[in-house]
């Protein structure tokens, strides 16, 4: 990718990392006008040696990342090649390629948040919808752990002397699940519970691992307040609980600026641009949280992502490259949308 972007006049800023892949920012010269960030990730979900084959037939390409999202990166690259071939230069467009999106962007999140303030628009190259929809909204997501401390005792001889951390976790599980509101897309899932020593011992410790997903900032605030409250209440007298965790990616809410941008893109392309909102998250959440007008789903259409059956539709590459070429060509002429 670095060699290819250098060929288009981009300079590479490499953010070196020791335990994950490096993050790379490819920077074009700057002039007056609106600035665009193109955003992709270079990692897949597959461990080394588990899924490394590439193949194709007349209709599909198959392999790790062909859909999510090396395929999307190639859409961005080829569109930029088209723009460069016509203008012999590219300005006010940068491309950020991170290495840890599939594991939560725990490292790159700080970098993305810092860089976001330099841009007016962001286009993200996660996979398109089945009908080539672009994504205007994504749920926010947070992962948390509640550690519960009780008191061990012999379940037969000194039953009442114990303080049952497992029982406390059961009460908390019920209260946490009540926070779910499917009508507005809020879910709370306690995905893992652990605790106890054995059948003849009152449990001295327990742990709940849970995930929050929400579609509105107001729901995030409600969930965080309720989570603190449930953690601090002792449903079983004598238990003590501690909460840890964080909001991994904040919600990406559809907004008026997105709508205005979509209308402009439709005029440029002469085609209707369908949209959708998704429950899954991406780095679009991070950039959008900083007030940058962000649209996602500019990669190819595919399915089977995150499985060894991953594939991407060849025709969708051409459609997406053509659309992005039109968009970036217009921006290079007017430095705005």
CATH code of residue 106: 3.40.630.10
Which pLDDT value is given to residue 142? 95
Which pLDDT value is given to residue 130? 95
Which pLDDT value is given to residue 69? 96
**330 backbone φψ class: left, alpha, beta (φ>0; ψ -120 to 50):** alpha
Max Cα–Cα distance, the chain, nearest Å: 84
Do 126 and 195 share a domain, yes or no? no
Is there a contact between 126 and 242 (Cβ–Cβ < 8 Å)? no
- CA–chain centroid gap for 319, Å, is 24
- Reduced to 3 states (helix: H, G, I; strand: E, B; else coil), residue 259 is helix
- Tokens at residue 46, please? 């597959």
DSSP symbol at 215: S
3-state helix, strand, coil in the chain (%, to 5): 35, 30, 40
Peptide bond into 69 cis (omega under 30): yes
Of 281, 223, 219, 211, the closest CA to residue 252 belongs to 281
Do 117 and 154 share a domain, yes or no? no
Q: Domain boundary residue among 222, 249, 276?
A: 249
Which pLDDT value is given to residue 9? 97
Do 230 and 189 share a domain, yes or no? yes
Provide the domain limits for residue 224. 140-249
DSSP symbol at 186: B
* Integer Cα distance of 312 and 304 in angstroms: 9
Question: How many domains does the chain fold into?
Answer: 2
Q: Find the Cα–Cα–Cα–Cα dihedral 77, 79, 81, 86, rounded to 10°.
A: -170
* Integer Cα distance of 175 and 152 in angstroms: 24
Do 87 and 35 share a domain, yes or no? yes
Do 120 and 13 share a domain, yes or no? yes
> Distances in Å between the alpha carbon of 246 and those of 10, 140, 194, 269?
35, 11, 20, 41
Q: pTM value?
A: 0.90
Which pLDDT value is given to residue 292? 98
Do 284 and 309 share a domain, yes or no? yes
Q: Domain boundary residue among 249, 275, 307?
A: 249
Q: Which residues of the chain have pLDDT under 70?
A: none
Do 126 and 202 share a domain, yes or no? no
Helix segments in the chain, DSSP class H: 2-6, 70-87, 108-116, 165-177, 217-232, 256-269, 284-288, 314-334
Do 134 and 260 share a domain, yes or no? yes
Q: Domain boundary residue among 249, 271, 292?
A: 249
Angle at 324 between CA 311 and CA 317, to 5 degrees: 20
Which pLDDT value is given to residue 301? 98
Which pLDDT value is given to residue 110? 96
- Tokens at residue 108, please? 């790159």
Do 214 and 75 share a domain, yes or no? no
């Amino acid at each position: 990718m670095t060699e290819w972007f250098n060929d288009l006049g981009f300079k590479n800023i490499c953010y070196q990392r020791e335990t994950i892949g490096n993050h790379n920012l490819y920077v074009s010269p700057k002039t007056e006008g609106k600035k665009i960030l193109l955003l992709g990730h270079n990692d897949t979900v597959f461990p080394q040696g588990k899924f490394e084959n590439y193949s194709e037939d007349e209709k599909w390409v198959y392999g790790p990342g062909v859909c999510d999202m090396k395929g999307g990166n190639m859409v961005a690259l080829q569109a930029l090649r088209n723009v460069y071939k016509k203008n012999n230069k590219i300005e006010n467009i940068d491309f950020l390629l991170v290495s840890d999106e599939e594991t939560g962007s725990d490292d790159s999140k700080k970098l993305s948040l810092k860089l976001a303030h330099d841009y007016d628009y962001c286009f993200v190259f996660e996979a398109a919808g089945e009908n080539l929809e672009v994504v205007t909204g994504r749920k926010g997501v947070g992962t948390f752990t509640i550690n519960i401390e009780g008191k061990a005792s012999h379940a037969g001889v000194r039953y009442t002397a114990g303080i049952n951390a497992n029982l406390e976790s059961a009460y908390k599980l019920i209260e946490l699940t009540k926070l779910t509101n499917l009508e507005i897309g809020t879910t709370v899932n306690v995905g893992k519970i652990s605790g106890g020593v054995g059948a003849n011992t009152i449990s001295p410790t327990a742990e709940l691992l849970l995930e929050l997903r929400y579609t509105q900032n107001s729901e995030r605030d409600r969930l965080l307040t309720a989570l603190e409250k449930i953690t601090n209440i002792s449903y079983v007298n004598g238990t003590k609980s501690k909460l840890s965790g964080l909001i991994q990616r904040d919600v990406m809410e559809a907004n008026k600026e997105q709508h205005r941008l979509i209308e402009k893109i439709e005029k440029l392309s002469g085609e209707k641009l369908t949209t959708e909102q998704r429950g899954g998250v991406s780095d679009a959440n991070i950039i959008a949280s900083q007030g940058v007008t962000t649209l996602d789903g500019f990669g190819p259409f595919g399915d089977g992502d995150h499985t060894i059956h991953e594939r991407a539709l060849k025709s969708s590459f051409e459609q997406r490259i053509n659309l992005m070429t039109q968009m970036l060509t217009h921006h290079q002429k007017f430095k705005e949308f």
